[in-house]
Amino acid sequence: MTAIAYYFKNVIITVVALILCGVTWIIPFNLMKITVAPAVFETGGDYYNIVWETSFKGSGCVKYTYNGEEKVVWDSNNGIITSDDTVHSVRVPKEELRGNTYTVESQFIPFKFSYHCLKGRKCESEPVVFGGEEKEADINILCIADIHEMEKEMNKALSHIEEKADLICMIGDITSEMRTKDQFTKFLLKDAADLSGGAVPVVFTRGNHETRGEYAGILADYLGDEDGKFYYTFDFGALSAVVIDSGEDKEDSHKEYSGLVDFESLRNEEYEWLCELDKKELDGRYRIVFSHEPILDNHFGKAWTEPLKKLGMELIVGGHWHESRFDEGELPVFIVGGNLGDGQWAASMMKLSNGKISVKTVDTEGNILLEKDV
């Protein structure tokens, strides 16, 4: 392309963009909106990921005051503020967010050229008072798995639980597939935002259904830890937890995966990581494992329970089996409910108090399916 043609092309694009941008400013209502409110995700380490969605692509930042200083933390990558996405993910230091109030803000960025850009209107969330303070006693953990788009039934089950959660664990298969971005935002992200109100941390444990579809690969950009992984450890006061990414539920060669998965490599890497974890780093009074597939004594040929026992873990909490179940043993397993079939759905509340782990599972009709002290 000649220099003149290149120049005229840019002039035309700029004029069209100015008209479009002008239209968005002239319209008396703002088309740039927050379509999914912020949720704060635990990802291990010293940072939370705050994630939300807007109606149009643009920038995103989180604002709060810490030690008298006004902070603005951007959704950015290697110094560049991300402006080409409708989902915004900002990493904020846990220490600065706990017990603090934050807002999220986004601005419509219709066009970003090399040396100038066109900006549309902004939108901002209501201020959110975030809890997340680490507790040493009486920790309530809401355990949700296998929603599989049964939000209506889930909310019915939750209406029978009175306790307020300090922590929300979403233990996989929140959606049935990750074929489109909407399946992430309208289900997984919206469920996290609705359940937590953005005010308590959400622990996401990847289920096998979250590995399926074209969008599954980029889920880690928003919810993964700093290395883009879904397995990590975290502390929450008296709780020390290991989060396992149990991956797919069948061998890589299964026809369902069309030869496009390599979970064997992931499992090898993750198992090695698990064996190298330091027991001294996980010295909370309560030591719990969260894994979508909770039956780990022979997980693709390896006894994952052995390194977990060496770490002093006391309980594995999971889903996948669509049932309310407690397996006694050296390392007990608690399956929290989820989609039970025939329109029934069950949620669980776990309480850590007086040195005991108490679990209770309630279904859509308010029936208590399981109640137990560990």
Report helix, strand or coil for 309.
Answer: helix
Nearest distance in Å: CB 148, Fe ion: 9
* Nearer residue to Fe ion within complex by CB, 82 or 205: 205
Q: What residue number has its CB nearest to Fe ion?
A: 320
* Nearer residue to Fe ion within complex by CB, 297 or 314: 297
* Nearer residue to Fe ion within complex by CB, 207 or 294: 207
* Nearer residue to Fe ion within complex by CB, 212 or 320: 320
Check if the beta carbon of residue 75 is closer than 8 Å to that of residue 109: no
Nearest distance in Å: CB 293, Fe ion: 7
Check if the beta carbon of residue 141 is closer than 8 Å to that of residue 158: no
Nearest distance in Å: CB 321, Fe ion: 8
* Nearer residue to Fe ion within complex by CB, 223 or 311: 223
Nearest distance in Å: CB 320, Fe ion: 4
Nearest distance in Å: CB 191, Fe ion: 16
Check if the beta carbon of residue 18 is closer than 8 Å to that of residue 113: no
Q: Which two tokens stand for residue 142?
A: 């809401």
Check if the beta carbon of residue 146 is closer than 8 Å to that of residue 339: yes
Q: Which two tokens stand for residue 366?
A: 């308010």
DSSP 8-class letter at 209: G
Closest by CA to 201, choosing from 103, 130, 293, is 130
Quickly list DSSP for 121-136. -EEEPPPEE------S
Closest by CA to 129, choosing from 154, 159, 102, is 102
Residues that bind Fe ion (CB under 5 A): 173, 207-208, 320
